Chain A
């Protein structure tokens, strides 16, 4: 099996927003067959590592196999949240893009199917 290093954006899209001081990032498989790859590679630990110095609290992951998507809650991420935060992106609108920069290694054949 040949492994290829890709950015998540090649196999997923996303949307993010705020829940108080936590950011929510929904990650959706671009094709249903990529969903197991997301489940395997985009774990709470991997996301916490990816968001080092951005997310200062725990990361929670929820699975939505019905729409081939994962939902992440990134606690302590928005500089106090909403109206208190001094961040340019106080509402975490661009956390979705940041998530899709994550690099993972997947089976090359899966991409070319």
Chain B
């Protein structure tokens, strides 16, 4: 058994710094790179892409990113774990094989985790009495059945562990928890038992720290953002994991950014609910047990983590079509910029009313003035400019498009000193809403396929 492994964070979302995973393998020693691509909305986008082209539906950046890393990961025996397979992990694997062949790399073993996509199983599940009630409002899934775009189970670390045991150099999954991508190599390397709740919780919390990339190594740091050196060359976080469950969060030497107790604390609190009940398919982690200790420059030890048994349920993330929306913006300049923008909003709303258009919501915000802080904002009389931002949402696509046709003419038929409409009329785009639910674990099983090119 190794006495330490280094797991590097390579991507925090689909759209993150493209070169970050490459830098992780060339700027210093690592054993694993985890790359998280999947936000809640991402699966529905990928499902739509797959409907248009059955060879798509995964993070298209991924094969090229891996191709660039291949010579290094082969030479240094680095393994890659990613959920960038989206709704089409097999097509993603084939694209990786293609890229590997083009790079002259052979005998590359890629593991794929399948079974998370339950779109085709929904009717059977509903007929078996599995209601998939919305965790937020308790409504059964049957109320929106016809409008569903995607439905995926969040798997945890265990299917990835199995792929690693079968010798996969690269593991591609669909909807796996962000934390499972980091926990899996620890279970694999250190042989942790599936009921070793404290250690599983420790690896899960390390995963929570890595899953947003640079956000734990100095990015988006509100503590003292000016003190973070060289963000242009930010080093993504690395977890040095030990068999006892303790972890040191660090980054490569010579990179920018900052790993401190304060940056780690901010990331620990990111998007959590009850800190005693951080629920994953692998365990329930207790964030109130975590201890942190600075161990010199850009090194923070995370230890003493406690966990409890996993629940009997997987979380399901379904998405469904929920009407249309459009957003338009106009910039108003001094003098009386705010007054003009408010007058323009009134004129626009009067025209929408006169046309008999109906929306579920019309929302007006003033960017540069009140859009972030709302009623907490201070407003000066002498502002230089403000952006009027109006959005509408509704069932009727024609009405939403007509809103787009009404906002642009304000340039010539509203208050003066207005600019900023080079983009043309805003068009209606489909709103994809999110449906979180629970599924008994026995209702679905992951399958693992490891193949060599």
Partner-B contacts on A (CB < 8 A) = 13-15, 17-21, 24, 26, 28, 30, 50, 52-54, 62-67, 69, 71, 73, 79-84, 86-89, 93-94, 96-98, 100-101
- Determine if B373 and A15 form an interchain contact, defined as CB atoms under 8 angstroms apart: no
| Of A15, A65, A67, A88, the contact of B367 (CB 8 Å cutoff) | A88
Is the CB–CB distance between B436 and A24 below 8 Å?
Answer: no
Cα A81 to Cα B319 with chains together (Å) = 13
Given A69-B269, A97-B372, 16 further pairs, Cβ under 8 A: A13-B224, A13-B262, A13-B266, A20-B434, A26-B269, A28-B265, A53-B374, A66-B288, A66-B290, A69-B265, A83-B433, A83-B434, A86-B392, A89-B371, A98-B376, A101-B376
| CB proximity of A48 to chain B, nearest CB, Å | 13
Do the beta carbons of B393 and A15 come within 8 Å of each other?
no
Q: Given the known inter-chain contacts A28-B269, A79-B363, A86-B327, please indicate yes or no for A15 contacting B222, CB distance below 8 A.
A: yes
Which of B40, B224, B271, B274 has the largest number of chain A CB atoms within 10 A? Answer: B271
Specify which chain B residues have a CB less than 8 angstroms from the CB of A89 in the assembled complex: 371-372
| Shortest CB distance B316–A (Å) | 14
Nearest chain A CB to B211's CB is how many angstroms away? 12
Contact surface of B with A, Cβ cutoff 8 Å: 40-41, 44, 136, 220, 222-224, 262, 265-276, 287-292, 319, 322, 325, 327, 361, 363, 365, 367, 371-376, 389, 391-393, 431-434, 436
Instruction: Return chain B residues, CB-CB under 8 Å to A50.
Output: 376
Interface of B is mostly: mixed
B287 touches A88 (CB 8 A): no
In the bound assembly, the distance between CA atoms of A58 and B262 in angstroms comes to 28
Residues in A with CB closer than 8 Å to B44 are 83
Residues of B within 8 A of A30 (CB): 223
Contacts of A52 on B, CB cut-off 8 Å? 375
Which chain B residues border A63 with CB–CB below 8 Å?
288
Pair A20/B136 contact, Cβ less than 8 Å: yes
Q: Are A14 and B287 in contact (CB under 8 A)?
A: no
B363 touches A86 (CB 8 A): yes
Q: In the assembled complex, which residues on chain B have CB atoms less than 8 Å from the CB atom of A96?
A: 222
Assess the A67–B290 pair: CB atoms within 8 A.
yes
On whether A86 and B288 interact (CB within 8 A), knowing A54-B375, A71-B272, the answer reads no
A-B contacts, 7 of them at CB < 8 A, read A13-B266, A24-B272, A52-B375, A83-B40, A87-B363, A94-B372, A97-B373
Contact A15 B136 (CB under 8 A): no
Q: Quote the shortest CB–CB distance from A16 to chain B (angstroms).
A: 8
**Given A28-B223, A94-B373, A98-B376 in contact, is the A88-B270 Cβ separation under 8 Å?**
no
- For B267, the chain A residues whose CB sits under 8 A away are 15
**Contacts A82-B434, A86-B392; is A17 near B266 (CB within 8 Å)?**
no
Closest residue of A by beta carbon distance from B363: A86
